[in-house]
Amino acid sequence: MIDPLIVVRGIHLTATALVAGAVFFTYLIAEPAWRRSGGAQALIIRLRSQIAWLRWAALVVAIISGGGWLVVLAAEIADKSVGDVISDKTVWILLTETQFGFVWQLRLVLAALLANICLLGRLAAAQQSDLQGILAVIVAAAFAGALAWAGHGGSTPGRGDLHVAADVLHLIAAAAWLGGLVPLVLLLGQQPPGAHEGWTIFVGHAIRRFSTLGIVSVSVLIVSGLINAWFLVGDTQALIASDYGRCLLLKLAMFGVMVGLAAVNRFGLMPYLQGTAAGLKMDKVTIGRIRRNALVEIALGVAIFGVVAVLGTMPPSAEESLMQMDHHMHSD
């Protein structure tokens, strides 16, 4: 039977990435690209509406799954049923007297703040102000990054600040890239009624901006991932011999495939985008291929979040090694 804690963690990680990714995509990709191209107004309004629905749905799921995470974690810690930990106030104790509970409260406040910013923006109807965009991006980044204190990074002894900082950057970069893939697919799925040059220019700008964001995100993911591995894995032997290490290798393999698909889009397909009415037929074929690759990346991204949810419930390889060393010392 699958551990309920893994399920709620996986759902929450995915929903959090979608919320932050949709915000990043709106203000860092779609809006600037539209301002540069003057794309089709009706299609832009429809795209904004779709991304807004995505963001709201993901935010609701993130809040609900966050509550589920709190309750299920309390039940596993106390070794009681969900009903018991609610009735005997174990959940309340976890919420008010632990670091996890404080992070949960902080992220609930951030979710409410982000909801208010987005509600005031009316994404489906009006162009967004620069100030609103900056605030939304900052709050979304904080919402995603604060998860670092609910994982292994928040409990690292000694040089924990470096580990937490790397974890924060890792989570934000993952949200920007993996979470941004869904609104990218929504954008690529829009079909103008005719040969609309403004729309093809807009799509070309958006793809290039997202590709640049992807390169930055992947770079941050690699560097922060190496730092995390240094703290959590220990050595190469632990990476291969431990359950934690093998799960991490699975995550890295899927990440590698995603990077490969992103490279195909960037270097193999993007050069064919002409961004003109005359080249619309070729652009539609190229955009369709980029969209298919992005859909595969989304599937792999969801699988990665599932693996991360599993890793969060397992003792790190470095911790296992220390426990084994301590056991041998005492047995000798």
Span 84-112, average pLDDT: 93
> DSSP letters along 201-217, please?
HHHHHHHHHHHHHHHHH
pLDDT in tens, 240-255: 877 888 888 999 999 9
b/e per residue 46-57 (b: at least 16 CB within 10 A): ebbebbbebbbe
SS3 state at 55:
helix
Asked whether the predicted pLDDT for residue 194 surpasses 70, the reply is no
Span 256-265, average pLDDT: 94
Domains held by the chain: number: 1
Asked whether the predicted pLDDT for residue 234 surpasses 90, the reply is no
Containing domain of residue 12, as a range?
Answer: 4-331
Asked whether the predicted pLDDT for residue 326 surpasses 60, the reply is no
pTM value?
0.88
With a pLDDT cut of 70, the percent of the chain lying above it is 83
Helices 243-263, 280-311: crossing angle, 10 deg rounding: 170
- Measure Cα distances from 62 to 4, 13, 19, 149, 185 in Å: 16, 8, 8, 17, 21
Asked whether the predicted pLDDT for residue 124 surpasses 70, the reply is no
